[in-house]
Structure 1
Amino acid sequence: MSDNSISVNDWSEPEQDLVPLTRGEAVELIAEQTGRSREVAESMVRDYLDDTSTRLGYSVHRWGLDSGDVAEIRRDYEWIDYEAGENPADARARAAVNAAGWATTAAAVDREHSPGYTARADLQAAMWAERAEDGWSA
């Protein structure tokens, strides 16, 4: 058995509320939910499938999608500025810069006198640091 093999006993049952979707339906749903163009929604789905294929070591482009995939696509790709030509790698680089900026801001804030702003700066630093990760590294 290879390192990336999963025993059938380790598979979890699919969630009952997941709705199966075609790729086109997923694109339309993302466009509707985000208010972005169909072309941008298609890019988000394509990048999700490309990244998942890279992670698994084989193409998943012919697999079906479900409402859980749509939620994951929105979480992981909605913040990328596709309209400005940004790709996921560029977005992660931008996120790293933002994370460093927020971390610097959080470190400089007087925590005793500005606890609300400090909490916001800490949250922003953590969020941008998470976005800067490629999502697949150990």
Structure 2
Amino acid sequence: MRFVKGFARVTLGIALGYAGFTHLTSSRLEFQAQVPNWVPFSADFVVLASGVVEIVLGLALVFLVKYQVQVGWVVAAFFVAIFPGNISQYVNGIDAFGLDTDRARLVRLFFQPLLVAWALWATGAWRAVRRAR
């Protein structure tokens, strides 16, 4: 099980790092489309900043094994923090990343909690809370 969790943690780290890289390069405009209008910063700033954060979190998932529980909580919180962008994309009917129907955008909303669970499970953060009780 340790190998499976480690593989899941590293895979999530690589995926986050890649997503962060695309925030800064090839998918920058598509990510800007997800930034809710109520965010008090420019969409480009939010995309660039979140891209850097994703790269850092991805690297932390891969390399900071000693702190994986703490990193897991931070990654889970990040996934919760960016969820309003996914909601905004759905509510406003914004096409991006091939999500060009309301149904596709709605289905995507159900994957964010899975990412939160993945981060907590793969890092042992969920188990650490249960042990502390």
Q: Under a length normalisation based on structure 2, what TM-score does the superposition of the two structures give? A: 0.34
Q: Which of these two proteins has the greater Rg computed from alpha carbons?
A: 1
Q: Under a length normalisation based on structure 1, what TM-score does the superposition of the two structures give? A: 0.33
Higher relative contact order (CA 8 A, sep 6+): 2
